[in-house]
């Protein structure tokens, strides 16, 4: 080891080695060297390329903007933001200390607390945060044109979404990996904490319901889709049994088998759907699918994890990583051209068929997950911090992970932007507007103020036949649009004639399957998490309810699961049967809920930063918090009180109530008295939910502001950071190890290191 | 070849193929005299833990 000594004692200038034990190699590297000339040139080139791509997108607004520029602009911006802004946040706020043990190291139990390789943890973290949200939101937002969407997805993630994910990860890592709800209570007192927990619970319920609605809309009257999604359940059961009784631990092996079976299910779906028995068995109306989904959610919540939930999650992870990589490569190869305008007129009025409301605030609420997702704060606290090896890796995992998610959103926007505008609106307008048939839908979209060639009913039927469906009219929810876009891209790569004839239908159902798989994973895992939140809260009330705390009490598990499923199921059924078109009215509620959760997370972060007296840099979390509050509060206000019935729940409610009182039996899109009653009831429920969310979040923000004020007055307050423990392991900080880090790694892996390793 | 090997290692690690081996190493290091569960026992215990402490999946 003597040969290593000189290198250890004299690191290159600008580099500091951290040691906690003289007998051990360094446990951390602080690298303050200026970037090398090559790195500088590379950064400048990336910046120039990014600026060029943005110019192509924003200024050369011909009809022929190539979708590749979206991808290039996004990636270049991410690289610059990661290098500079994330680094600034690291230096000024996160201030990682690699001589301090993370919870994963300090509490290492080989199970849920384990120091995990940063690249593997990145995969875990990404699989946990990525879902259907960033795929669906940008597709709906495309009705305003591609430009507002791409700008917000990229700018939003850099200044808001990635900042939230990163800083929540940082504060939770310093607090033993505690959850957001617990941190809210610890840092802002009981009132703020309880309001945060109730808000998190209700927000989860609404998120599950609206995502469920997306799946139901994609599967309604689609025997092919229903068959292939239904097959995921027996496939998962098989995988579960295989892993438990045949070959425990062979996770990749069983997942590859599962995916092969899944592809077989998709391919054979056409044959099943076209056979007489298959069509009668699997052509289900939306209400039936909604009930089946509730039944599934309940089953997944009470059945043991190994049987259904875990194998489903393996399939989902595999598909996530695989399909997203495939789509990115597909876009680069096929290089499709955007058909949507840069900015459409629906950006400025509330007449948009896909969702109601003008650009501000509804663009931000609709895109939600791809730019800022409150839900991520539940992963960044609780799960990921327990696996983080080194504090300095939080930038790569937290900030970098969210950049990747945003990239998924960019690709979703691309798939929508390359569709014919008339086709886009025929798919995304509610059936109350399109009339439900190809002919009426063509008439409707041709009456919209769109550019480009008009569409005929025949063309719509033809497109439907191409993808193996009977109709594509009013398949709202974003998933079918995305699936058609993906089938365009992939058949652009592989062709759709000769040997590859009919592949469009395969890719469409592949994409539907992949979205449904994500969403059902969120539904089953979410139901289970919400069930535990509920039983914990009930148990905390004391008295005879204390028994709910016992996780092995089966009856308690059944009762709580039923309450949770009943909660999201009733909203789901309401959306499915809504005469106004469920997605149109409910999706904004989903977005608002998600963004309000982000407001809670950013409030907790800002409060901690202020308590630590980091006033100069408190704007870093406060800026997205302020913006998010302006957006969500304006959106909530408009949803409640707007005089425009397309936007305001109460206005709609009053109009329909007045019509009923006037003795009318049909009013606007509601053709029967029952439908009118449904609108009156739904708008009441939606309005109430909006008001409850907004109030709960305002309570949390007020509690945060009060704590900040107290902190400023008394010159900082103690936070609930765990006492520090010296670290005794080493790992590089970023994706690639630097030269010095490699050198230190070599010392750690030397056969007989000085001293003993733990 | 090295790249493919690396990708395979990454993917199998993300899926959890090496979790048992990692746990055994953990036990050897921290509790060298304690009993070591079989792979089947390890996964049973792990799913039982997951039953009691569900982790969320995002939207």
Tell me, what's the ipTM?
0.97
Residue A65 has pLDDT above 70, yes or no: yes
Query: Which of A107, A110, A379 best tests the B interface by mutation, with the highest count of B CBs <10 A?
Result: A110
Residue A110 falls in which region: left (phi positive, over 0), alpha (psi -120 to 50) or beta: left
- Which chain A residue is nearest to residue B50, measuring alpha carbons? A305
Residues in chain B, total:
59
B37 touches chain A (CB under 8 A): no
Q: How far apart are CA A487 and CA A383, in angstroms?
A: 35
How far does the CA of residue A82 sit from the closest CA of chain B (Å)?
Answer: 23
Mean pLDDT, chain B, whole residue set: 92
The helix/strand/coil state of A455 is coil
Confidence of residue A758 (pLDDT cuts 50, 70, 90): very low
pLDDT confidence bin for A502, thresholds 50/70/90: confident
* Chain A residue with minimum CA distance to B8: A252
How far apart (Å, rounded) are the C-alpha atoms in residues A656 and A670?
9
Segment A534-560 mean pLDDT: 90
- CA nearest A131 in B: which residue? B59
> Of the candidates B22, B43, B49, which has its C-beta nearest A114's C-beta?
B22
Question: How many Å lie between the alpha carbon of B2 and the closest alpha carbon of chain A?
Answer: 15
Residue A757, pLDDT score: 46
Query: B35 contacts in A (CB within 8 Å)?
Result: none
What is the average pLDDT score of chain A? 93
Is the CB of B52 inside 8 Å of chain A's CB atoms? yes
User: What chain B residue is nearest to A368 in terms of C-alpha separation?
Assistant: B59
How many H-runs (helices) and E-runs (strands) does chain A carry?
30, 2
Q: Does B7 contact A at CB distance below 8 Å?
A: no
pLDDT at A79: 98
Distance CA A131, CA A211 (A): 10
Interatomic CA distance for residues A197 and A219, integer angstroms? 33
Is A128–B58 a contact, with Cβ atoms under 8 angstroms apart? yes
Of all residues in chain B, the one with the smallest CA distance to A300 is B51
Residues from chain A contacting residue B29 (CB–CB below 8 Å):
758
More confident residue, A755 or A273: A273
The CA distance from B44 to the nearest CA of chain A, in Å, is 7
Residues paired with A726 in a beta bridge: A100
Q: Which of A53-67, A120-134, A738-752 bottoms out in mean pLDDT, i.e. has the lowest?
A: A53-67
CA–CA separation, A505 and A751 (whole Å)? 57
> Chain B residues with CB inside 8 Å of A249's CB?
16-17, 19-20, 39, 42-43
**Structure token digits, residue A280:** 């009668």
**Which among A117, A245, A305, A312 is the top mutation candidate for probing chain B, defined by the most B β-carbons within 10 Å of its own β-carbon?**
A305
Contact B54 A373 (CB under 8 A): no
State CA A382 to chain mean position distance.
17
Over residues B7-31, the pLDDT tens digits come to 999 999 999 999 999 999 999 999 9
CA–CA gap between residue A111 and residue A387 (Å, rounded): 10
pLDDT of residue A752: 60
pLDDT tens readout for residues A562-579: 999 999 999 999 999 998
**Distance between CA atoms of residues A231 and A639, nearest Å:** 39
- Contact residues, chain B, for A758 at CB < 8 Å: 29-30
Interface test with A, best of B27, B28, B31, B58 (most A CBs within 10 A): B58
Instruction: Tell me, yes or no, if B11 comes closer than 8 A to chain A by beta carbon.
Output: yes
Percentage of residues of chain A with pLDDT beyond 90: 85
A310 contacts in chain B (CB < 8 Å): 47, 50
Model confidence at A4, pLDDT cuts 50, 70, 90, reads: very low
pLDDT digits (tens, 9 = 90+) for A438-468: 999 999 999 999 988 899 999 999 999 999 9
Q: Are A238 and A259 in contact (CB under 8 A)?
A: no
Q: Looking at the partner chain, which of B13, B47, B58 has a beta carbon nearest the beta carbon of A373?
A: B58
Closest partner CB to A532 (pick from B13, B15, B54): B54
Share of chain B residues as helix, strand and coil, in percent rounded to the nearest 5 = 70, 0, 30
Q: Which residue has the higher pLDDT, A548 or A452?
A: A548
The owner of tokens 């998490």 is A529
Whole-angstrom Cα Rg for chain A: 26
pLDDT greater than 70 at residue A611: yes
Angstrom distances, CA of residue A184 to CA of A692, B27, B54: 19, 35, 20
User: Between A and B, how many residue pairs show a Cβ–Cβ distance under 8 A?
Assistant: 128
- CA-based nearest distance A130→chain B, Å: 6
Give chain B positions within 8 Å (CB) of A522. Answer: 57-59
**Residue B12 at interface with chain A, using a CB cutoff of 8 Å:** yes
If one counts every other C-beta atom within 10 angstroms of the C-beta of residue A749, the result is: 10
Are the C-beta atoms of residues A104 and A388 closer than 8 Å to each other? yes
Confidence label for A495 from pLDDT (cuts 50, 70 and 90): confident
User: What secondary structure letter does DSSP report for A18?
Assistant: E
Least CB–CB distance from A594: residue in B42, B44, B59: B59
The sign of the dihedral angle between the CA atoms of A384, A387, A391, A397 is negative
What pTM, to 2 d.p., does this model score?
0.95
**Sign of CA pseudo-dihedral B46, B48, B51, B52:** negative
Interchain proximity B47–A310, CB inside 8 Å: yes
Distance from CA of B48 to the nearest CA of A (A): 8
User: Of the candidates A132, A531, A758, which has its C-beta nearest B29's C-beta?
Assistant: A758
* Mean pLDDT, range A395-407, rounded to an integer: 97
Phi-psi region of A456 (alpha: psi -120 to 50; beta: other; left: phi over 0): beta
CB atoms A521 and B57 under 8 Å: yes
Which one of A242, A251, A318 makes the best mutation probe of the B interface by having the most chain B beta carbons within 10 Å? Answer: A251
Question: A386: closest CA among A528, A118, A178?
Answer: A178
Specify the DSSP element, H or E, that contains A29.
strand A28-31
Which residues of chain A neighbour B47 with C-beta distances below 8 Å? 244, 304-306, 310
At residue A114, what are phi and psi to the nearest 5 degrees? -145, 130
Q: Which of A525, A601, A600, A597 is nearest to A568 (CA)?
A: A525
Angle at CA of residue A632, ends A630 and A633, nearest 5°: 65
Residues ≥6 apart with Cβ < 8 Å to B31:
none
CB-CB neighbours of A277 under 10 Å: 8
For residue A378, give how far its alpha carbon lies from the nearest alpha carbon of chain B (Å): 7
Per-residue tokens: A505? 């239908």
Residues of chain A positioned with their CB less than 8 A from the CB of B23: 110-111
Half-sphere exposure of A556 (CA within 13 A, CB side): 18
Indicate which of A108, A210, A248 best probes the interface with B, i.e. most B CBs within 10 Å of its own CB: A248
Cβ-based neighbour number of residue A746 at 10 Å: 12
> Which among A119, A304, A375 has CB closest to B47?
A304
A638-660: per-residue pLDDT in tens?
Answer: 999 999 998 999 999 999 999 99
Among A289, A250, A356, which residue's Cα sits nearest to residue A644?
A356
Task: Give me the residue from A111, A130, A522 closest to B49, CB to CB.
Answer: A111
List beta partners, residue A30. A16
């Amino acid at each position: 080891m003597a040969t290593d000594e000189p290198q250890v004692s004299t690191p290159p200038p600008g580099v500091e080695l951290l040691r906690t034990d003289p007998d051990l190699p360094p446990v951390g590297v602080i690298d303050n060297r200026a970037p090398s000339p090559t790195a500088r040139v590379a950064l400048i080139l990336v910046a120039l390329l990014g600026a060029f791509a943005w110019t192509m997108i924003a200024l050369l607004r011909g009809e022929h903007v190539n979708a590749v520029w979206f991808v290039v602009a996004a990636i270049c911006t991410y690289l610059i933001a990661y290098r500079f802004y994330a680094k600034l946040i690291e230096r000024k706020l996160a201030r990682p200390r690699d001589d301090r043990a993370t919870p994963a190291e300090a509490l290492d139990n080989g199970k849920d607390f384990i120091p995990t390789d940063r690249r593997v943890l990145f995969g875990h973290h990404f699989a946990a945060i990525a879902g259907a949200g960033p795929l669906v939101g940008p597709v709906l937002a495309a009705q305003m044109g591609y430009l507002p969407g791409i700008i917000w997805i990229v700018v939003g993630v850099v200044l808001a979404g990635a900042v939230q994910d990163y800083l929540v990860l940082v504060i939770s890592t310093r607090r033993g990996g505690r959850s957001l709800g617990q941190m809210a209570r610890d840092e802002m007192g009981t009132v703020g904490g309880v309001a945060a927990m109730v808000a998190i619970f209700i927000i989860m319920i609404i998120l599950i319901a609206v995502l469920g609605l997306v799946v139901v809309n994609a599967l309604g009257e689609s025997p092919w889709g229903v068959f292939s999604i239904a097959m995921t359940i027996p496939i998962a059961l098989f995988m579960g049994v295989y892993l438990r009784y045949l070959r425990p631990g062979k996770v990749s092996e069983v997942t590859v088998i599962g995916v092969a079976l899944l592809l077989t299910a998709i391919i054979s779906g056409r044959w099943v759907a076209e056979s007489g028995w298959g069509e009668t068995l699997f052509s289900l109306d939306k209400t039936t699918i909604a009930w089946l989904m509730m039944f599934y959610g309940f089953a997944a919540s009470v059945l043991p994890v190994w049987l259904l939930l875990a194998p489903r999650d393996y399939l989902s992870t595999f598909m996530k990583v695989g399909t997203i990589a495939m789509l990115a490569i597909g876009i680069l190869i096929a290089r499709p051209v955007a058909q949507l305008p840069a900015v459409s007129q629906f950006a400025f009025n509330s007449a948009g068929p896909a969702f109601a409301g003008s650009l501000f605030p509804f663009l931000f609420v609709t895109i939600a997950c791809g730019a800022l997702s409150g839900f991520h704060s539940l992963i960044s606290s609780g799960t990921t911090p327990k696996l983080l090896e080194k504090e300095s890796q939080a930038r790569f995992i937290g900030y970098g992970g969210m950049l990747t998610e945003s990239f998924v959103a960019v690709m979703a926007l691309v798939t929508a932007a390359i569709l014919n505008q008339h086709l886009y609106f025929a798919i995304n307008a509610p059936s109350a507007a399109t009339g439900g048939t190809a002919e009426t839908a063509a008439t409707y979209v041709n009456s919209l103020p769109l550019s480009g060639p008009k569409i005929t009913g025949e063309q719509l039927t033809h497109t439907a036949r191409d993808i193996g469906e009977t109709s594509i009219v009013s398949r709202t929810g974003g998933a079918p649009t995305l699936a058609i876009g993906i089938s365009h891209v992939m058949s652009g790569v592989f062709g759709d004639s000769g040997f590859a004839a009919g592949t469009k239908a395969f890719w469409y159902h592949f994409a539907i399957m992949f979205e449904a798989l994500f969403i059902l994973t969120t539904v089953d895992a979410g139901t289970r998490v919400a069930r535990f939140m509920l039983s914990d809260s009930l148990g905390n009330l004391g008295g005879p309810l204390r028994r709910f705390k016992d996780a092995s009490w089966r009856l308690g598990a059944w009762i709580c699961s039923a309450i949770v499923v009943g909660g999201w199921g009733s909203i789901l059924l309401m959306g499915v049967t809504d005469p106004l078109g469920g997605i149109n009215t409910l999706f904004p509620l989903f977005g608002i809920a998600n963004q309000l959760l982000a407001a809670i997370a950013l409030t907790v972060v800002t409060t901690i930063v202020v308590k630590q007296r980091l006033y100069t840099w408190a704007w870093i979390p406060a800026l997205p918090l302020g913006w998010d509050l302006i957006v969500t509060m304006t959106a909530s206000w408009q949803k409640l009180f707007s005089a425009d019935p397309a936007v305001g729940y109460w206005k709609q409610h009053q109009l329909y109530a007045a019509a009923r009182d006037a003795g009318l039996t049909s009013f606007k899109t509601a053709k029967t008295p029952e439908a009118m009653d449904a609108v009156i009831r739904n708008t009441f429920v939606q309005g109430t939910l909006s008001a409850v969310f907004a109030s709960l979040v305002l309570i949390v923000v007020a509690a945060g502001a009060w704590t900040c004020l107290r902190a400023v007055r008394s010159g900082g307050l103690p936070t609930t950071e765990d006492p520090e423990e010296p670290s005794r392991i080493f790992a590089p900080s970023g994706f690639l190890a630097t030269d010095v880090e490699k050198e230190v790694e070599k010392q750690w892996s030397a056969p007989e290191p000085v001293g003993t390793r733990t | 070849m090295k790249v493919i090997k690396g990708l395979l290692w990454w993917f199998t690690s993300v899926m959890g193929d090496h979790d048992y081996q990692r746990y055994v190493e953990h036990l050897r290091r921290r509790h060298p005299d304690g009993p070591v569960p079989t792979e089947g026992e390890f996964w049973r215990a792990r799913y039982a833990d997951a039953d009691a402490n569900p982790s969320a999946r995002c939207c």
